[in-house]
Amino acid sequence: MIRAEHITKSFEGRTVLNDISATFEKGKTNLIIGRSGSGKTVFLKSLVGLHPVDSGEIYYGDTCFTRLGFRELKAIRRDMGMIFQGGALLDSSSVEENVKLPLDLFTTQSEHEKMERVNFCLERVNLHGANHLYPSELSGGMVKRVAIARAIVLNPKYLFCDEPNSGLDPMTSVVIDHLIQEITKEYNITTIINTHDMNSVMGIGEKIIYIHEGRKWWEGSSADILTSTNKELNEFVFASELAKAARAKL
Amino acid sequence: MNFLKTLGQYFILMGKVFSRPEKARIYYRRTMFEMEALGFNSIVITAIISFFIGAVITIQMAINLESPFIPPMMIGYTTRETMVLEFASTVTALILAGKVGSSIASEIGTMRITEQIDALEIMGVNSASYLILPKVAASMIFFPLLTVLSIFVGVVGGYIMCMFGGVCAPEDYLTGLYFDFRPYSITYTLLKMVVFAYIITSVSAFYGYNARGNSLEVGRASTKAVVISCIVILLMDLVMTQLMLLR
């Protein structure tokens, strides 16, 4: 479980996150939703320590993450996996090298064991046989799947996804969403997904936090969204005419 | 004030770069890879430039030393001294600052803006050390070899100019090459190149690592890396020459 308490973050005097508190549960797909520029990526990056917070605390289980030193931070990060918006695969390394890198650096496994694990993870994301391709040779969906394979290769306890289906077609988005959800259940990890894709929200959102103008505006499940009376949330979720019409029929 | 801030950031980054590597074997492998990328791939450009500069220096010396009071072997001697003392280290370093420095800054800068560095950090990797240390080590090992190559190819260029250009007798040129040779000059030039190699890679990596925003910023970081590297190289050239030759 991850708990954020009263998180505040500013950039050059501009407050981006304003007193956000939230709890993200283990074994669930927790979603952070909000408009572009609402502060969701900053919040996600603050949770993983890429943006140090100005005030507030973040707890990973009972460990206060915001007070950790350099060494402890490095140690806890080995329990984290993150899927970045653009995949963030190392361009100069092949698919296999990208997925194997954490094993090379942090395990004492033999080459055979490492390769077994790499192939297992690649098969898990349906990329069997793509070992020797380079990121430039992959499609957007494949890049995301390699990023997932790399994120789970060390059996993380926490999985963070920053807009995992941005730039993907709706069908591939659903595949990626379901893959993340399956992995979350299979390994009982705490997954936090940052998205503004409404298909993801309704499809896999077990716990949803809506951020608006740097504040937590709403919290609930995908079922609660349909009956919510929160004006800003409804404006965001039912922005299209199609969504408005669908809601009217409910 | 801004200069001091940048200097402070540079030293903080270097502190991270020189912290204990996660796994020595991985760093060794990366250093070998960087030797090929930064050093081996610079052999041709170094050789071509050195050859022509050696030939041109020989012609210029032949023109300027044309006097009955100056023996012709001085052409070989001055070509050798120019190549050894200044060209093979300083000018080669300036060329490499342009070729290697811009490549390092843009490579690391692109990694920064495409979140590849963030991805390494999330894995628990010391990204500064993982990305920069092998480049620094590889260049400090390989660039002095380029200096040796530059000296050799430069004097060969001069010799060929004597043979086919008729600027002086090849025997006189060779006599000049051997005349009053001080091995200390080689130590001086190699040591200079080791320092320049560190400057090129660390300064370029610093600007790349701190690039923010978009491809435009990466371009700016790359340009800045080359300009600052060149200035620091020239400054260190002056300091090291004062320290090592004016004794």
Tell me whether residues B124 and A78 touch, CB distance under 8 A.
yes
What residue type is assigned to position B213 of the chain?
Answer: G
Say how many CB pairs under 8 Å bridge A and B: 58
Domain presence at residue B65: yes
In this structure, the answer to whether residues A165 and A241 fall within a common structural domain is: yes
In this structure, the answer to whether residues A75 and A161 fall within a common structural domain is: yes
Tell me whether residues A91 and B118 touch, CB distance under 8 A.
no
Q: What is the pLDDT of residues A17-51, one digit of tens each?
A: 999 999 999 999 999 998 888 899 999 999 999 99
Establish if B126 touches chain A: CB-CB under 8 angstroms: yes
Tell me whether residues B124 and A104 touch, CB distance under 8 A.
no
Which of A56-70, B95-109, B135-149 comes out lowest in average pLDDT? A56-70
Residue range of the domain that includes B211: 22-244
Q: Is A36 exposed, middle or buried (0-12, 13-18, 19+ CB in 10 A)?
A: exposed
Cα-Cα-Cα-Cα torsion A223, A226, A230, A236, nearest 10 degrees, comes to: 110
Tell me whether residues A82 and B26 touch, CB distance under 8 A.
no
Question: Which residues in chain A come in under a pLDDT of 70?
Answer: 247, 249-250
In this structure, the answer to whether residues A148 and A177 fall within a common structural domain is: no
Contact B237, B192 (CB under 8 A): yes
* Count: domains in chain B: 1
Categorize the per-residue pLDDT at B247 as very low, low, confident or very high, splitting at 50, 70 and 90.
low
Categorize the per-residue pLDDT at B145 as very low, low, confident or very high, splitting at 50, 70 and 90.
very high
In this structure, the answer to whether residues A140 and A170 fall within a common structural domain is: no
Establish if B12 touches chain A: CB-CB under 8 angstroms: no
Domain presence at residue B9: no
Establish if B231 touches chain A: CB-CB under 8 angstroms: no
Nearest CA in chain A to B29: A104
Domain presence at residue B71: yes
Average pLDDT over residues B9-17: 95
| pLDDT value, residue A250 | 64
Domain presence at residue B184: yes
Domain presence at residue B16: no
What is the H or E stretch that residue A17 is in?
Answer: strand A14-24
ipTM (interface pTM) = 0.85
Among B232, B202, B146, B160, which residue's Cα sits nearest to residue B16?
B202
A224 pairs with which residues across the strands?
none
The alpha-helical segments, DSSP class H, found in chain A are: 40-47, 70-77, 95-106, 111-124, 140-152, 170-187, 198-204, 222-227, 231-237, 241-249
* A176: phi then psi, degrees, rounded to nearest 5: -65, -45
Establish if B122 touches chain A: CB-CB under 8 angstroms: yes
Contact A130, A122 (CB under 8 A): yes
Tell me whether residues B115 and A88 touch, CB distance under 8 A.
yes
| pLDDT value, residue B200 | 97
Would the pLDDT of B1 be above 80? no
What is the H or E stretch that residue B39 is in?
Answer: none
Among B137, B163, B104, which residue's Cα sits nearest to residue B35?
B137
Q: What is the pLDDT of residues B51-89, one digit of tens each?
A: 999 999 999 999 988 888 889 899 999 999 999 999 999
- CA dist., res. A59 & res. A81, Å (int): 17
Tell me whether residues A91 and B110 touch, CB distance under 8 A.
yes
Residue range of the domain that includes A180: 2-79+157-249
- CA dist., res. A6 & res. B149, Å (int): 62
Which of B98-102, B122-126, B189-193 comes out lowest in average pLDDT? B122-126
In this structure, the answer to whether residues A186 and A220 fall within a common structural domain is: yes
% of chain B residues with pLDDT over 90: 85
Residue with tokens 């020189």: B18
In this structure, the answer to whether residues A62 and A150 fall within a common structural domain is: no
Chain A residues bordering chain B (beta-carbon distance below 8 Å)? 45, 48, 50, 74-75, 77-78, 80-82, 84-86, 88-91, 101-102, 104-106, 150, 154, 160
In this structure, the answer to whether residues A239 and A121 fall within a common structural domain is: no
Establish if B245 touches chain A: CB-CB under 8 angstroms: no
Domain presence at residue B84: yes
* Count: domains in chain A: 2
Within 10 angstroms of residue B76's Cβ, the number of other Cβ atoms is 27
Domain presence at residue B4: no
The residue that leads in pLDDT, B91 or A141, is: B91
